[in-house]
Amino acid sequence: MKRRAFMCLAATSAIAAITRPVSASQLRMDVYKDPTCGCCEAWSKAMADADFNVVVRDEDFMAIKAKLGIPENMQGCHTAVVGDYFFEGHVPLEAVEKVMSEKPRIAGLAVPGMPAGSLGMGDDPKAAYEVYSLSKPEMTPTMFMRMSKA
């Protein structure tokens, strides 16, 4: 094979490998939670069902929030970490998938508190809540999406 043809083939292969969509099963998701929290288990199961490689860590979840710099007013009951992103609280699957496919320049997403009807918090047909993105490194919250079932 001539050198030029080889270089073109190598470059094309590299670009294809980089731009190929990553399936969720290839992504490890560490979920830090309280060992007694049932809603965190439900959220983690939903992520596993979406083909994420979920590793549940029943350990000092408050320490991971502090390490990541998640502001107190943005905290939920569990913290998930996938690569360079965190997902704080009951972040909906569609928001997680959007971040993982679009790779925005943010630290992560947060759903503060435990809103009724959010993923893992039961089925409330009137559920409405906000999902916030948190900027790097300031952790300034910005509305990322609004979830509404009504």
Tell whether 111 is covered by a domain. yes
> Which domain range does residue 133 map to?
23-148
Question: How many independent structural domains does the chain possess?
Answer: 1
Q: State which of 11-15, 37-41, 66-70, 146-150 shows the largest mean pLDDT.
A: 66-70
The pLDDT tens digits for 58-74 are 888 889 999 999 999 99
pLDDT band at 25 (very low <50, low <70, confident <90, very high): low
Confidence (pLDDT) at 83: 94
Evaluate whether residue 144 is within a structural domain: yes
- pLDDT given for residue 13 in this prediction: 40
Q: Is residue 67 part of a domain?
A: yes
Q: What is the pLDDT of residue 22?
A: 46
Q: What is the pLDDT of residue 19?
A: 37
34-61 tens-digit pLDDT? 877 777 788 888 899 999 999 999 888 8
Q: What is the DSSP string of the chain?
A: --HHHHHHHHHHHHHHHHHSPPPGGG-EEEEE--TT-HHHHHHHHHHHHTT-EEEEE-S-HHHHHHHHT--GGG-BS-EEEETTEEEEES--HHHHHHHHHH--SSSEEEE-B--TTSTTS---TT-EEEEEEE-TTT--EEEEEEEE--
* C-beta separation of 56 from 34 below 8 A: no
pLDDT at 24 (0 to 100): 56
CATH number, domain containing residue 138: 3.40.30
pLDDT digits (tens, 9 = 90+) for 105-114: 999 999 998 8
Task: Region of 44 please: left (phi>0), alpha (psi -120 to 50) or beta.
Answer: alpha
The answer to whether residue 13 is domain-embedded is: no
Pick the residue with more confidence: 34 or 129?
Answer: 129
| Domain-embedded: residue 17 | no
Q: Evaluate if residue 91 carries a pLDDT over 60.
A: yes
Report yes or no on 81 lying in a domain. yes
